Structure 1
């Protein structure tokens, strides 16, 4: 789908910011700065982290300056022809938003590099779960929300659904635990809020605490993309984007229950299917999609978001490797590997 004039206005005023932008002031300012200095900016991050909302907010501000804005949603396409078509209809001074550019990073990078060379007045903003890899690309990683902001978003969504959370300390603690269980992902929090009319916060937390519980959270409505209808669909989309070694390593790393080192990942996961060099490359690939996180900005320390771990654990069981990997993690923890 190619969209122009995408910015809703009422009485000449800009629309209100998306609730997913709660607490995103620094990221919004950073994105504005990058768009002023770079002609190709990619917002990358885990599925459901709010990349599209952040990008839409930024291009709305650009649109208010009189710059032509063209938006292309790549989610349902397998080619880049619509990008050329969209830009061909725009003016010489334009901002192109290419949303959900997940499946075609290589072809898209080549196509956009040619466009930028041919159109000196063009700027491009990309959202993707991984970087394009273009030589002139500037990347803005988008992390999950801070806990306090995530709780505020959950409370807001609950009020919008007519089921406000109780105003007491127990409810706030429960809300915080729900947010942590869902990795403070805006998508997940919206799905969780949709379950509150049927069950209270404590019952919801109990359901989410079950193994794989968050993956079954579902949304309803024709406006929800298929890849966002459940967290299982969301992480499944990321799983499809991974190469074979990344998928296998994702499953195996799910056996770690918390923080681990790159060295531990190599010792526990290495075998004839995954060599140590392949593990090192796959770790970088998973980090690049937000499926692994650096702990305290230390490259050697890693953790897997809990819902990502849930999805990987399902695949580990499906592959028949659960017992073996859990045993190897135990051996590593005791210094036997």
Structure 2
């Protein structure tokens, strides 16, 4: 867990209260999932909390990274390996794993559950029920069934400026960015820690004015590299992070993601129904897709009754829409809808 913390520390600045709250919840509930969009710092926070608990007298403690897991049925095997439980020559199944853990106190951090979210949720819930001294802290872009959820959002603006400045210093910048420009950069990137880490790396060889112009160009924003060695592919660029989310979405969710990218500000479910529904995405299917995108942390709550997409998520959706050849049509629909709302008393 300490190594995981060392290599994925983006986003830890300003997370002290979140770490304390998460630790308290884990002690009480024993199965907690940190949920939020890619790049928000779920892994770093889970590693930090896990690291705080390592000095306690656990019979075993370990970390399982499930990102590479693409074959069903292997979750118990991955958990057994993390806890260094011998499964002999056969892949350990859930009952055998539960028997091996028994009543011994164990701590397990399970990272990136979203690829096998349903299997992970069922497996972890059954393990915690069967093993009364097992504590499991998971991370996922998608909530896990039967797990207490700890939602993680981007930090406050002032904290975002600290993260941006810290990342710039680590990358070799000799001067801190102008505070006003730093706040504007943070706002343009929605305060997402991964995005701020990437932006801070750019400040080592360009000034803040140039960076603000650069991140206003979606094609370039998505492909700026993170200046951190050892990050997995899905966190090396914002495009890599969003590609990972695309794989987790259903076809209807992907289509709505592309079309909803035409909204430049907060929008409601009714707005999406008016602008984005058609014979390819009927209203009932759109409602399911809308809820799915929110569940995947791709739509975040805005003002009461509204949702919004981050700049990077919207830029990725716009590119998907262009590939579908629907960009002009749905931009026209969004403009018409906006004008009609403006003219309605």
Instruction: Give your verdict on TM over 0.5.
Output: yes
1:207-262: CA deviations, max 9, x gaps?
A: 11123331011135651211111111111101111111111100100001111111
Q: Is residue 2:241 matched to residue 1:269?
A: no
The 1:216/1:88 distance shift into structure 2, 3 A limit, reads: closer
- Measure, in 2, the Cα distance between the counterparts of 1:301 and 1:74: 33
Cα shift at 1:316: 0.7
- Corresponding residue for residue 82 of structure 2: 86
RMSD over equivalenced CA pairs, Å: 2.2
- Normalised by the length of structure 1, the TM-score is 0.88
- Corresponding residue for residue 194 of structure 1: 201
Q: Contact (CA 8 Å) 1:31, 1:140: kept in 2 or not?
A: yes
- Measure, in 2, the Cα distance between the counterparts of 1:322 and 1:69: 50
- Measure, in 2, the Cα distance between the counterparts of 1:220 and 1:158: 10
Cα shift at 1:88: 6.0
| 5+ residue gaps, structure 2 | 86-99
The runs of at least 4 consecutive aligned structure 1 residues that moved more than 4 Å come to: none
1:239-294: CA deviations, max 9, x gaps?
A: 11111111110010000111111111111111111122222221221112221111
- Corresponding residue for residue 160 of structure 1: 170
Q: Contact (CA 8 Å) 1:219, 1:229: kept in 2 or not?
A: yes
Q: Is residue 2:123 matched to residue 1:131?
A: no
SS in 2 for 1:77: coil
- Measure, in 1, the Cα distance between the counterparts of 2:216 and 2:2: 39
- Corresponding residue for residue 11 of structure 1: none
Q: Is residue 2:141 matched to residue 1:140?
A: no
Q: Contact (CA 8 Å) 1:98, 1:126: kept in 2 or not?
A: yes
- Corresponding residue for residue 224 of structure 1: 231
**Which residue among 16, 31, 39 is the counterpart of 1:25?**
16
- Corresponding residue for residue 67 of structure 2: 75
- Corresponding residue for residue 312 of structure 1: 317
Q: Which moved more, 1:213-222 or 1:276-285?
A: 213-222
> More helix by proportion, 1 or 2?
2
**Which residue among 33, 52, 55 is the counterpart of 1:64?**
55
- Measure, in 2, the Cα distance between the counterparts of 1:61 and 1:141: 20
- Measure, in 1, the Cα distance between the counterparts of 2:174 and 2:287: 46
- Measure, in 2, the Cα distance between the counterparts of 1:113 and 1:211: 40
Cα shift at 1:329: 0.7
SS in 2 for 1:290: coil
- Normalised by the length of structure 2, the TM-score is 0.86
| 5+ residue gaps, structure 1 | 1-5, 9-13
1:90-136: CA deviations, max 9, x gaps?
A: 86101110001120011112222332233221111110111122x3x
**Which residue among 101, 111, 133 is the counterpart of 2:113?**
101
State the number of aligned residues.
319
- Corresponding residue for residue 53 of structure 1: 44
Q: Contact (CA 8 Å) 1:181, 1:307: kept in 2 or not?
A: no
